[in-house]
Amino acid sequence: MSYIAIEPLPSTSRQDVQSATRHDDTQSTTSEFVRKLYKMLEDTSYDNVVAWGPRGDCFVVKDMNEFATTILPRIFKHSNFASFVRQLNKYDFHKVRNMDDNPFGEHSWTFRHPDFHANDRSSLENIKRKVPTARRSSPPRSYGHESHSPYPPSNPASHQAQITSLQNEIARLESVQDDMALHIRHMEKNYQNVLNEMVDFQRTMARQDQLMQGLIEYFLSPSGNDGGLSSSGNLTVGGSLVGELQVPLTPASLTASILGAQNGSLGTS
């Protein structure tokens, strides 16, 4: 009688078994959508379109159009960005509002979940689909032996198409709203600059008006009255000393004297 030697199976450590068991348990309790989402973010070839946030506590869709046309069909087998956002909402992901200093641009979309972090696969099992609120249902009404609805039967495919269209429109309007808010902030800054320029212009015009008034009073007032030349060669306007005139009197010397007086009075005011 011959015997066949049976080689012993390679031994497996208890830690390897426990680690594999934990991984399998996590995989079995994590939803397929969340697993695909996490696997997508682990692929660094998508980083220019979608990636983890700087601290790993959120993920950012940097280019919505590129994400919908390239990555969604590859990972989730569809190209409807609004449907993707709706799925995130069902698993309690929340959209983070963009700030002015957002490094990914004003058209990016950022989503966060308290149990969705980079390098923390074990927490994925805590992300559960939200339970819809139960609605009170009225008891069925009987119409004899056959039930007849007063309305024609609805078409689920048509309803879904309408819902998808509305969700895409909502996403577009949110993007337009962000653009308008940024444009309004720029307009507010420009408006403030215009106001400052108007104030400077009014001050310049006031100085010119004072200068012209001084010239008019000088030429119209006889010497020794409210305006004119004093015996010492000083110019008075409205009874007030304006400045010492240069002799001989010329239009240039007169203007220089009044300008000097106006600048001096403005500097002391």
Burial class (CB in 10 A: 0-12, 13-18, 19+), 81: buried
Say if CB 75 and CB 40 are below 8 A apart.
yes
The type of residue at 246 is: Q
Supply the mean pLDDT for the chain: 77
Q: Half-sphere exposure of residue 139, counting CA atoms within 13 Å on the CB side?
A: 3
Determine the average pLDDT of the residues in 97-117: 88
More confident residue, 228 or 106: 106
Say if CB 246 and CB 256 are below 8 A apart.
yes
**Residue 103: predicted pLDDT:** 85
**Residue 178: predicted pLDDT:** 86
Burial class (CB in 10 A: 0-12, 13-18, 19+), 67: buried
Placement of tokens 């309690």 in the chain: 92
The most confident of the ranges 69-78, 149-158, 229-238 is 69-78
> What pLDDT, in 10s, does the model give residues 153-187?
557 777 887 888 888 889 889 888 988 888 898 89
**Residue 140: predicted pLDDT:** 55
Integer Cα distance of 228 and 209 in angstroms: 19
Phi-psi region at 131: left, alpha or beta (left = phi > 0; alpha = psi -120 to 50): beta
Q: What are the sequence ranges of the domains in the chain?
A: 18-130, 193-268
Q: Which CATH number fits domain 18-130: 3.40.50.2300, 3.30.160.20, 1.10.10.10, 3.90.1150.10?
A: 1.10.10.10
Residue 134 tokens, joined = 């139960």
Integer Cα distance of 171 and 175 in angstroms: 6
Q: What is the pTM of this model?
A: 0.44
How many whole angstroms from its chain centre is CA 213? 53
Determine the average pLDDT of the residues in 42-51: 95
Determine the average pLDDT of the residues in 197-206: 92
Percent of the chain at pLDDT > 90 equals: 40
Element (H, E) at 240: strand 240-244
**Residue 50: predicted pLDDT:** 96
Percent of the chain at pLDDT > 70 equals: 64
What string of DSSP letters covers 125-187? GG--PPPPPPPPPPPPPP-TTS---SSPPP-HHHHHHHHHHHHHHHHHHHHHHHHHHHHHHHH
Say if CB 126 and CB 115 are below 8 A apart.
yes
**Residue 157: predicted pLDDT:** 73
Assess whether pLDDT exceeds 70 at residue 194. Answer: yes
Integer Cα distance of 97 and 93 in angstroms: 13
**Residue 17: predicted pLDDT:** 45
Determine the average pLDDT of the residues in 103-110: 88
- Strand 59-61 to 50-52 pairing: antiparallel
**Residue 52: predicted pLDDT:** 96
